[in-house]
Amino acid sequence: MAPPKRKTGGGRTTLKGTRPGEAPRAAGARNEGQKYANPDENRAGVHASSRYTPPVPAEMKMPKAWVPYLMVSLFVTGMVVIMLRNLVWHSNWLTLAGLGAILGGLYTATKWR
């Protein structure tokens, strides 16, 4: 018979008087209605990000026309090389070359928008 389970901890996960997602108040914190010197501090829980994300250039938004052609040609080349290896020649290097071409096609597929 196994011993009964006992409680290992528990209790509150947030400080008393706070809500989940709300920062705990320090002793002597300002009142809710009091304005701060920084306007971003007036909004509860919203802080300005210190990271800058530049806008995406227009040439990056447009898909490149040659990407799907390269992708399909790499897939077909890989399949043909593997089939030729099985039908005509018997070299493991052809299998590796075919798999490399197929992997190149998969990599190219990730660049297609």
Task: Give the separation between CA 106 and CA 79, rounded to whole angstroms.
Answer: 13
* Range in 30-39, 68-77, 91-100 with the lowest mean pLDDT: 30-39
Choose between 90 and 107: higher pLDDT: 107
Q: In this predicted model, what pLDDT tens digit does every residue of 56-81 receive, in sequence order?
A: 887 777 778 888 899 999 999 999 99
Note whether 79 and 103 are within 8 A (CB).
no
**Confidence band of 26 (pLDDT split at 50, 70, 90):** low
Let me know if residue 75 belongs to a domain.
yes
Task: Give the separation between CA 58 and CA 60, rounded to whole angstroms.
Answer: 5
Let me know if residue 94 belongs to a domain.
yes
Our count of domains for the chain comes to 1
Let me know if residue 97 belongs to a domain.
yes
Let me know if residue 82 belongs to a domain.
yes
Write the DSSP symbol of residue 22: S
Let me know if residue 101 belongs to a domain.
yes
Task: Give the separation between CA 18 and CA 12, rounded to whole angstroms.
Answer: 11
Query: What is the pTM assigned to this prediction?
Result: 0.46
Let me know if residue 80 belongs to a domain.
yes
Let me know if residue 92 belongs to a domain.
yes
Range of the domain at 90: 66-111
Let me know if residue 23 belongs to a domain.
no
